[in-house]
């Protein structure tokens, strides 16, 4: 059964040992993630499914990382002290593969090393839940519609499970929101991104599905696709989106949104 769902950002700057003096500019996001952690803990999940645009990816298929355990650190960002480990839920991963193999392009892989898109959410959400099992899912280069339908297929398995399952999309929004962005500035990106956030708040799936995919790369919004898997999972659920925060101090959109399930 699904007991928790959310969209969370994954910038390593949220980690104290990485962000350092820049962390103060992300106060709203950090506070939201701490609030989210309380709700996550209260929901008592046994397994956390993390949907990310990174990790082991394949352009033409979705990927589930089937490793029995995961490790990772933020050494590439100068933080050698913060290290995390996690255990994989191989039983659920295999059930999902069996259930979806005729419905969507999906492959299993085994990579023990986690990147920051998985580590950052784990750092915050699992602060008091080191025992939770993980199912890491990576998005693809397929269309928004195929990501949505993949989420719907995933939901068929998740919602029939007896175990308590949490699902999050670990993704940023536009990465071209200001001239300070490392990816440059795109005229219209702020408006494009804000409309996207508003449509999520309104649960407006019809307009979300009508987003012009040609604009995604232009506006720096390719990570939207990971969120569309979550939208597919929630499409038949009567959930209430709650915007906890949205900010972009470094030109990249950091959205924290919880969906009451």
Question: How far apart, in whole angstroms, are the C-alpha atoms of residue 32 and residue 260?
Answer: 15
Sort 130 into a burial class: Cβ within 10 Å, 0-12 / 13-18 / 19+: exposed
Shortest CA distance to 54 belongs to which of 12, 20, 96?
12
Question: How far apart, in whole angstroms, are the C-alpha atoms of residue 225 and residue 230?
Answer: 9
- 8 A C-beta contact, residue 211 and residue 224: yes
Check residue 58 and report its DSSP letter.
Answer: B
DSSP assignment of 98-164: HHHTTTS-EEEE---B--HHHHHHHHHHTTT-TT-EEEEEE--SS-HHHHHHHHHHHHHHHTT-SS-
Question: How far apart, in whole angstroms, are the C-alpha atoms of residue 166 and residue 176?
Answer: 30
Shortest CA distance to 8 belongs to which of 27, 36, 28?
36
Q: What residue spans define the domains of the chain?
A: 2-260
pLDDT digits (tens, 9 = 90+) for 68-126: 999 999 999 999 999 999 999 999 999 999 989 888 999 999 999 999 999 999 999 99
Residue 174 or 58, more confident: 174
pLDDT digits (tens, 9 = 90+) for 36-65: 999 999 999 999 999 999 988 888 999 999
Is it the case that residue 180 has pLDDT exceeding 80? yes
What is the fold, at CATH topology level, of the domain defined by 2-260? Protocatechuate 4,5-dioxygenase; Chain B (3.40.830)
Tokens 């002290």 belong to residue: 81
pLDDT digits (tens, 9 = 90+) for 181-208: 989 999 999 999 999 999 999 989 889 9
């Amino acid at each position: 059964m699904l007991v928790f769902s959310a969209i969370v950002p994954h910038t390593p700057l949220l980690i104290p040992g990485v962000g350092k003096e820049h962390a103060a500019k992300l106060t709203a996001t950090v506070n939201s993630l701490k609030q989210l952690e309380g709700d996550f803990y209260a929901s008592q999940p046994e397994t956390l499914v993390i949907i990310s645009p990174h990790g082991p990816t394949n352009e033409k298929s979705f990927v589930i990382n089937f490793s029995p355990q995961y490790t990772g650190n933020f050494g590439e960002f100068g933080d050698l002290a913060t290290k995390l480990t996690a255990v994989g839920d191989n039983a659920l991963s295999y059930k999902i593969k069996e259930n979806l193999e005729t419905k969507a392009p999906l492959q299993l892989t085994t990579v023990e090393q986690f990147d920051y898109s998985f580590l950052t959410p784990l750092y915050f959400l699992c602060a008091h839940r080191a025992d939770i099992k993980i199912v890491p899912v990576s998005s693809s280069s397929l269309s928004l519609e195929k990501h949505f339908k993949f989420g719907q297929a995933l939901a068929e398995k998740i919602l029939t499970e007896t175990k308590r399952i949490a699902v999050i999309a670990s993704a940023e929004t536009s990465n071209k929101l200001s001239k300070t962005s490392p990816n440059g500035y795109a005229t219209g990106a702020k408006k494009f991104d804000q409309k996207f956030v508003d449509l999520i708040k309104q649960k407006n799936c019809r307009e979300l599905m009508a987003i012009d995919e040609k604009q995604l790369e232009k506006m720096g919004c390719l990570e939207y696709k990971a969120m569309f898997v979550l939208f597919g999972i929630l499409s038949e659920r009567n959930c209430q989106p709650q915007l906890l925060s949205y900010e972009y101090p470094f030109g990249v959109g950091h959205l924290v949104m919880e969906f009451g399930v």
